[in-house]
C-alpha cells in the first residue's frame, strides 16, 4: 500500500500520466480524510471514486496484452481503492461493492498470519466465514449494477476467492481434531493468547502468567501416558497436534516468566510502535460508536504493513540483518496479529450510517438500551417516569424534514437505519406507557 522505491516506475511511458493522476487523487483523498472541520459528504467521495474508475479504464486499455503488470502505479492504485473503501464505510455505504475492498485486504492478512503460525480456534474462523458470505452477496449484487466498475467487481471476486482458499486450508487443519480435542484445543489457544497479552502489558505481572501456567499444568495432568485419551479409552485423532500445542504453551509461559516483558534495545522501537497501535485500536474498540472515523484505520494499516513487510523469510531482523530470537519474534508477531484482528472487528462493526447521522444514531442506540433495561426490570411505576424518554424521542423526531434527517440541503446515507431505530424506540416507549396505565386501571 505504501508508495516505496522498491516498486519500479512504469516502463510504458503511457502509464506515467495515469500514475501522476492517481497520485493527485490519493493526495485529495488524504486531505479529505484529515479534514475534521465537517463530516464527509457522499458527493465528495463519489467524485473521487469516478476519477479513479476513469484512470482504471485508461490503464486497462494500455494493458490489454499485459494484465499482470505490477509497478508503482499499481501500488498507488491500491492505496486509492483502500482509502475509497474506508470512505464508503464513513459515508454509510457499507453494503456497496467499494466498501468491501478494505475488508478483504484485512481478512487476507489475518488469514495468512493464522496459516503461518497455525495457532487459531474455530471461533476465529466462524466469524470470518459469515463475513465472507456477506461480502460475496454484496459483490454478486454489484455485478448487475452499472454504477460500479466491472474491473473493481472482478478484482473483489478474485480477492474473495483467495480469502476463501486460505479459510478452507485453515478449516481443514481444524478437521484433524476429534472427540473432546476441539474444546481442549480452543482452551489452549485462549490461554496462549492470554499469556501473550500479559507479556505485552505496560506492567508485567508474574502472578498473572503463573496462574495461566497453572491452568496449563492442570491440562497436562489429564494426559495418560503422555496422551490425551477419549472417554472410551482410545487415543483420538489430533492427539499429536494438541500435545504439541500444549508443549508450545508450556514453553512459552516459561520464556515469558524468564523475560518479564524485557525487549532487546535493537527491537524496542518496533515493539513500542506495535504496542501503541494495539492500545489505540483497543481503545477505539470500546469507544467506536462515538470516536471512530473509518478512514482513520488507513494509517494503522499502513504502519502494520510496513512492519510486516520488513520481515525477511518471515523473521524480524535488526539493523545488521540478524534474525531476532524466538521471544522477540513471537512477541512482535502477536502484536501484529492482534492489531490486524482489531482492525477487522472495527470494520465489521461499522454501522451503515453516515458519520453526519452517527450522533443521532448513537443517541437512539442508548435510548433503546435504556428502554429495554426498564422493560426487563419490570417497567415504570408512573407514566411520569417516561417523560425524559418521550421528550428526547420527540426532540429527535422533530429534527426530521419530510421524514428525513437533513444536514443543510444534504440527505446523508443511513436514513432507513436511523428511522427504523427511532420507530423501535417509540414502540418500546408506547408499550411501557400502556403497561403502566393498564396497571393503574386495575
For residues 33-50, average pLDDT? 90
Report pLDDT for 6: 60
Residue listed under C-alpha cell 433495561: 373
What does the pLDDT look like over 394-412, one tens digit per residue?
Answer: 999 999 998 899 888 888 8
Report pLDDT for 345: 92
What does the pLDDT look like over 189-200, one tens digit per residue?
Answer: 999 999 999 999
287 or 267: which leads in pLDDT = 267
What are the cell numbers at 136? 460475496
Q: Which of 282, 273, 347 lies closest to 310 in space, CA to CA?
A: 273
> For all residues of the chain together, what is the average pLDDT?
89
Report pLDDT for 99: 92
Count Cα atoms within 13 angstroms, Cβ side, for 33. 24
For residues 331-353, average pLDDT? 93
Angle, CA 104 vertex, CA 22 and CA 354 arms, to 5°: 75
Alpha-carbon 127 to chain mean position: 11
Cα distance between residue 54 and residue 65, in whole Å? 19
45 or 224: which leads in pLDDT = 45
Report pLDDT for 286: 81
CB 315 within 8 A of CB 244: no
Report pLDDT for 348: 92
pLDDT at 440 over 90: no
Task: Name 227's bridge partners.
Answer: 224
Give me the phi and psi of 405, to 5 degrees please.
-90, 115
Going by the DSSP 8-state scheme, the letter that residue 405 receives in this structure is E
pLDDT at 289 over 70: no
Alpha-carbon 324 to chain mean position: 28
Burial class (CB in 10 A: 0-12, 13-18, 19+), 116: exposed
pLDDT at 1 over 60: no
**How is 125-185 classified by DSSP, letter by letter?**
HHHHHHHHHHHHHHHHHHTT-TTS-HHHHHHHHHHHHHHHHHHHHHHHHHTT--TTHHHHH
Task: Name 323's bridge partners.
Answer: 317
Report pLDDT for 153: 85
Report pLDDT for 5: 44
Q: Which of 415, 393, 389 lies closest to 404 in space, CA to CA?
A: 415
Report pLDDT for 119: 86
What are the CB-based long-range contacts (under 8 Å, 24+) for 323-331? 324/264, 324/267, 325/264, 326/255, 327/255, 327/256, 327/259, 328/263, 328/264, 328/267, 330/196, 330/252, 331/196, 331/199, 331/200, 331/263, 331/271
CB 99 within 8 A of CB 93: yes
For residues 21-27, average pLDDT? 94
**How is 380-402 classified by DSSP, letter by letter?**
-SSGGGGHHHHHHHHHHHTTEET
Cα distance between residue 351 and residue 349, in whole Å? 6
CB 25 within 8 A of CB 55: yes
Report pLDDT for 323: 93
Identify the band that residue 106 occupies on the pLDDT scale cut at 50, 70 and 90.
Answer: very high
**How is 277-319 classified by DSSP, letter by letter?**
HHHHHHHHHHHHHHH--GGGHHHHHHHHHHHHHT-BTTB-B-T
Burial class (CB in 10 A: 0-12, 13-18, 19+), 342: buried
What does the pLDDT look like over 139-168, one tens digit per residue?
Answer: 988 887 767 777 788 889 989 999 999 999
pLDDT at 237 over 50: yes
Cα distance between residue 438 and residue 432, in whole Å? 10
3-state secondary structure of 120: coil
Identify the band that residue 380 occupies on the pLDDT scale cut at 50, 70 and 90.
Answer: confident
Going by the DSSP 8-state scheme, the letter that residue 112 receives in this structure is H
pLDDT at 282 over 60: yes
Alpha-carbon 141 to chain mean position: 23
pLDDT at 64 over 80: no
Report pLDDT for 290: 66
For residues 199-225, average pLDDT? 92
Identify the band that residue 4 occupies on the pLDDT scale cut at 50, 70 and 90.
Answer: very low
Identify the band that residue 245 occupies on the pLDDT scale cut at 50, 70 and 90.
Answer: very high
CA torsion angle for 98, 102, 103, 104 (degrees, to 10)?
A: 90
For residues 81-95, average pLDDT? 92
What does the pLDDT look like over 367-379, one tens digit per residue?
Answer: 999 999 999 998 8
Amino acid at each position: 500500500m505504501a508508495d516505496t522505491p522498491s516498486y519500479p516506475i512504469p516502463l510504458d511511458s503511457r502509464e506515467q500520466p495515469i500514475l501522476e493522476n492517481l497520485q493527485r487523487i490519493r493526495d485529495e483523498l488524504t486531505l479529505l480524510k484529515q479534514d475534521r472541520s465537517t463530516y464527509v459528504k457522499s458527493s465528495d467521495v463519489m467524485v473521487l471514486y469516478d476519477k479513479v474508475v476513469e484512470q482504471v479504464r485508461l490503464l486497462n486499455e494500455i494493458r490489454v496484452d499485459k494484465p499482470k503488470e505490477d509497478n508503482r502505479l499499481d501500488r498507488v492504485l491500491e492505496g486509492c481503492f483502500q482509502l475509497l473503501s474506508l470512505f464508503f464505510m464513513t459515508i454509510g455505504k457499507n453494503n456497496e461493492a467499494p466498501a468491501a475492498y478494505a475488508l478483504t485486504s484485512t481478512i487476507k492478512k489475518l488469514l495468512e498470519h493464522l496459516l503461518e503460525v497455525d495457532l487459531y480456534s474455530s471461533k476465529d474462523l466462524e466469524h470470518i466465514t459469515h463475513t465472507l458470505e456477506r461480502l460475496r452477496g454484496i459483490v454478486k449484487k454489484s455485478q448487475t449494477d452499472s454504477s460500479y466498475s466491472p474491473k473493481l467487481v472482478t478484482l473483489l471476486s478474485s480477492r474473495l476467492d483467495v480469502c476463501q482458499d486460505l479459510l478452507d486450508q485453515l478449516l481443514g487443519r481444524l478437521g484433524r481434531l476429534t472427540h473432546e480435542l476441539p474444546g481442549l484445543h480452543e482452551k489452549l489457544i485462549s490461554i496462549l493468547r492470554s499469556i501473550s497479552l500479559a507479556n505485552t502489558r505496560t506492567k508485567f505481572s508474574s502472578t498473572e502468567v503463573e496462574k495461566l501456567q497453572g491452568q496449563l499444568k492442570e491440562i497436562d495432568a489429564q494426559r495418560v501416558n503422555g496422551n490425551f485419551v477419549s472417554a472410551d479409552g482410545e487415543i483420538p485423532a489430533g492427539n499429536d497436534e494438541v500435545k504439541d500445542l500444549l508443549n508450545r504453551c508450556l514453553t512459552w509461559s516459561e520464556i515469558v516468566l524468564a523475560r518479564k516483558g524485557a525487549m532487546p534495545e535493537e527491537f524496542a522501537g518496533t515493539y513500542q510502535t506495535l504496542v501503541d497501535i494495539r492500545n489505540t485500536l483497543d481503545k477505539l474498540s470500546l469507544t467506536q460508536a462515538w470516536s471512530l472515523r473509518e478512514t482513520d484505520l488507513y494509517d494503522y494499516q499502513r504502519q502494520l504493513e510496513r512492519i510486516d513487510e520488513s520481515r525477511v523469510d518471515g523473521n524480524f531482523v535488526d539493523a545488521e540483518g540478524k534474525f531476532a530470537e524466538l521471544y522477540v519474534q513471537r512477541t512482535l508477531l502477536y502484536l501484529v496479529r492482534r492489531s490486524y484482528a482489531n482492525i477487522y472487528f472495527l470494520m465489521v462493526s461499522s454501522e451503515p450510517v453516515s458519520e453526519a447521522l452517527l450522533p443521532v444514531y448513537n443517541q437512539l442506540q442508548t435510548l433503546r438500551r435504556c428502554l429495554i433495561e426498564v422493560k426487563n426490570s419490570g417497567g415504570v411505576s408512573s407514566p411520569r417516569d417516561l417523560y425524559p424518554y418521550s421528550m428526547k424521542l420527540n426532540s429527535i423526531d422533530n429534527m426530521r424534514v419530510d421524514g428525513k434527517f437533513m444536514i443543510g440541503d444534504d440527505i446523508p446515507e443511513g436514513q432507513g437505519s436511523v428511522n427504523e431505530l427511532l420507530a423501535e424506540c417509540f414502540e418500546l416507549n408506547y408499550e411501557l406507557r400502556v403497561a403502566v396505565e393498564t396497571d393503574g386501571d386495575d
